[in-house]
């Protein structure tokens, strides 16, 4: 963390009424996730007058809810961990993983400019990253992949530095917190699980727990921010410090077009008393679309993601695709040719006490660990449980066309549940009553009893477990090759005494299961852009003054998910490129861009 940060004392004005009608700014950015903040911050760093528009009450979008890992090969910190990586190796990997599903020129623009984008943010803002010694590319079997150095993640942040602006940051997903709101990352989980085993973990855990309890007495929320909350809080801090302008709960209702040029936008904010405030804002450099994509769009969702219920989606609620609609109205077009329109993860569903629905993504904490296996409605395995969450979600939908596999049952024995937890259930195996009562967790003293609870054939589930146990004992999954890649083994259990860190038998009753559904975690299909993030008109020419980045932009990964953080990393990069081009268009010379 940068040591020269001083606490903010004034609350940033988020009212639209602060602007005169027809007022001019240099850059207008729609959406305050990682990509939008990147565009806004990069422009502010160079002295531009920037307005960031957020349709929700809180900033951060899906980024704030995520782990906020960002895949940006070639950064200074990344090369310190893996000095052997090269741009050529990155290109080889993406060519093998993505191929013709996206424009290779856009991928090259990302490879060339990603390190520059991160360097500019780290040099001139509070956003600071860290790199783990082991964080493999997901498709680690492909030539060009690496085990470390490309995935970066934000350092934790002291939310007290935001002062009264702390409440602007979107709260994390409750199920990703402990003790009534304490955020935890993988370092915290490591120590909390060993709290009573080592003195170092006890001291570490005592420190973060004590701070959280004090926060609950003094502040409206926990102030030790990690993962996505840390990224957004760091960017918000720097944006406010650089006098950036922000309006929340504000819709963009129209883009102002003159010929082929976007000259501004019409904004509308609804006040608490129901009164509507409207302003027309002009912009010298342009408008950047960074509103998060189409996942909650009223019609595009059903067209592009048929059969995927919106309640399974873990994307931020503000990602309605309305900004994309405006871009389409002025001639923009959506990309084609991707593997899938969205990025996926298996999720488990539970209703919260307040009546809202929790969609919990199963990334790495349970399904690929020893003593866990997944079965369809016939009680049979059909996939490699250790594969990436994206491929897992796709496999669920593909298999469902032949044998019902929505939901898929994630099955484990008592030992595995105690060691790793299961979805929203914490490791330790305690406090199961409420999960059993509301049906989130199914339990059977025997496999036969569990099969009855799941309504799957008893003989098939028993036979599947017996066959799986044979594979686990010898460490080789003859059916689906689980635990055969570096990525899969890295997400297994390194302390497991068996021959394969991803395979362990299910023998210790009682046996448990939860239902998994394919949940979309981000949009892959978006607006077609060029290498400067300019939105392309359907006639093949860029729309002057209109840009897109993040999940509003068509993914350079072509619907493939080759590595961790492949949405936020490109989002940060093309936000940087959009700001750079827009400021050049406005006649503002970048003061800090490196070549």
More confidently predicted of 190 and 89: 89
| Alpha carbon distance 99, 102 (integer Å) | 7
**Mind listing the pLDDT tens digit for each residue in 285-305?**
999 999 999 999 999 999 999
- Whole-Å CA distances, 484 to 116, 148, 393, 413: 35, 18, 20, 23
Burial (Cβ within 10 Å: 0-12, 13-18, ≥19) of residue 42? buried
At 593 the pLDDT is: 67
Residue recorded with tokens 């660990």: 369
CA dihedral (412, 565, 55, 523) in degrees, to 10, reads: -80
Max CA-CA distance within the chain? 72
What tokens appear for 159 in the block? 């939310």
- What mean pLDDT comes out for the span 244-266? 97
Does 595 score more than 70 pLDDT? no
**Mind listing the pLDDT tens digit for each residue in 369-379?**
999 999 999 99
Does 251 score more than 90 pLDDT? yes
- Whole-Å CA distances, 11 to 5, 241, 584: 17, 11, 31
- What mean pLDDT comes out for the span 194-216? 91
514-545 residues labelled b (16+ CB within 10 A) or e (exposed): bbbbbbbbbbbbbbbbbbbbbbbbeeeebbbb
What tokens appear for 388 in the block? 């990436």
At 193 the pLDDT is: 85
Which of 131-140, 205-214, 385-394, 560-569 is predicted with the least confidence, judged by mean pLDDT? 205-214
Say if CB 42 and CB 117 are below 8 A apart. Answer: yes
Grouping H, G, I as helix, E, B as strand and the rest as coil, residue 337 is coil
**Mind listing the pLDDT tens digit for each residue in 7-59?**
999 999 999 999 999 999 999 999 999 999 999 999 999 999 999 999 999 99
pLDDT band at 1 (very low <50, low <70, confident <90, very high): very low
Say if CB 410 and CB 507 are below 8 A apart. Answer: no
At 2 the pLDDT is: 47
**Mind listing the pLDDT tens digit for each residue in 425-466?**
999 988 999 999 999 999 999 999 999 999 999 999 999 999
More confidently predicted of 195 and 396: 396
Say if CB 170 and CB 316 are below 8 A apart. Answer: yes
Does 594 score more than 80 pLDDT? no
361 has which bridge partners? 347
Global pTM?
Answer: 0.96
Say if CB 552 and CB 567 are below 8 A apart. Answer: no
Say if CB 548 and CB 85 are below 8 A apart. Answer: no
Does 494 score more than 90 pLDDT? yes
- DSSP class of residue 10 equals S
- What mean pLDDT comes out for the span 76-98? 98
Mean of per-residue pLDDT scores for the chain: 96
Does 240 score more than 80 pLDDT? yes
At 220 the pLDDT is: 87
Does 127 score more than 80 pLDDT? yes
At 590 the pLDDT is: 76
């Amino acid at each position: 963390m940068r040591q020269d940060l001083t606490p903010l004392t004034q609350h940033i004005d988020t009212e639209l009424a602060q602007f005169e009608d027809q007022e001019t700014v240099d850059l207008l950015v729609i959406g305050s996730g990682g990509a939008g903040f990147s565009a806004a911050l990069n422009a502010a760093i160079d002295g531009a007058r920037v307005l960031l528009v957020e349709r929700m009450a809180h900033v951060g979008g899906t980024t704030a809810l995520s782990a906020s890992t960002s895949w940006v090969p070639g950064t200074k910190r990344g090369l310190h961990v893996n000095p052997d990586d090269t741009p050529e190796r990155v290109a080889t990997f993406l060519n093998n993983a993505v191929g013709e599903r996206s424009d290779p020129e856009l991928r090259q623009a990302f490879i060339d400019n990603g390190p520059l984008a991160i360097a500019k943010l780290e040099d001139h803002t509070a956003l600071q990253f860290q790199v783990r010694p082991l964080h493999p590319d997901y498709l680690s079997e492909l030539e060009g992949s690496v085990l470390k150095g490309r995935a970066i993640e934000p350092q934790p942040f002291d939310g007290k530095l935001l002062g009264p602006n702390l409440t602007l940051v979107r709260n994390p997903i409750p199920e990703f917190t402990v003790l009534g709101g304490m955020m935890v990352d993988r370092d915290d989980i490591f120590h909390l699980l060993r709290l009573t085993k080592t003195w170092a973990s006890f001291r570490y855990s005592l420190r973060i727990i004590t701070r959280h309890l004090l926060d609950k007495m003094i502040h409206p929320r926990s102030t030790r921010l990690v993962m996505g909350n840390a990224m957004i809080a760091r960017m918000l801090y720097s944006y406010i410090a650089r006098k950036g302008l922000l309006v929340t709960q504000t819709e963009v209702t129209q883009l102002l077009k003159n010929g082929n040029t976007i000259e501004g936008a019409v904004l509308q904010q609804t006040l608490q008393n129901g009164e509507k405030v409207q302003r027309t804002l002009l912009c010298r450099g342009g408008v950047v679309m960074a509103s998060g994509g189409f996942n909650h769009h009223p019609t595009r969702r059903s067209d592009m993601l048929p059969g995927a219920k919106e309640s399974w989606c873990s994307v931020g609620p503000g990602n309605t695709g309305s900004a994309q609609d405006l871009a389409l109205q002025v001639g923009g077009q959506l990309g084609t040719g991707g593997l899938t329109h969205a990025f996926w993860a298996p999720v488990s569903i539970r209703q919260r006490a307040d009546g809202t629905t929790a969609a919990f993504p199963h990334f790495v904490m349970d399904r690929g660990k020893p003593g866990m296996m997944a079965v369809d409605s016939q009680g049979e395995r059909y996939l490699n449980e250790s594969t990436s969450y994206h491929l897992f979600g796709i496999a669920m939908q593909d298999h469902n066309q032949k044998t019902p596999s929505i939901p898929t049952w994630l099955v484990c024995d008592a030992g595995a549940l105690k060691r790793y937890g299961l979805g929203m259930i914490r490791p330790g195996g305690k406090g199961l009553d409420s999960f059993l009562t509301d049906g989130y967790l199914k339990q059977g003293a025997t496999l036969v009893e569990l099969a009855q609870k799941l309504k799957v054939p008893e003989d098939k589930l028993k036979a599947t477990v017996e066959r799986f146990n044979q594979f686990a004992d010898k460490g080789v999954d003859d059916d689906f090759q689980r635990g055969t890649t570096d990525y899969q083994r890295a997400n297994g259990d390194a302390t497991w005494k068996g021959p394969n860190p991803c395979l362990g038998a299910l023998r210790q009753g009682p046996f448990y299961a939860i239902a998994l559904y394919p949940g979309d975690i981000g949009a892959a299909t978006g607006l077609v852009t060029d290498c400067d993030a300019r939105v392309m008109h359907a006639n093949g020419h860029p729309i002057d003054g209109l840009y897109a980045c993040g999940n509003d932009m068509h993914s350079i990964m072509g619907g493939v998910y080759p590595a961790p953080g492949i949405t936020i990393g490109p989002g940060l990069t093309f936000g940087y490129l959009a700001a750079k081009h827009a400021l050049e268009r406005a006649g503002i010379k970048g003061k800090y861009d490196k070549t």
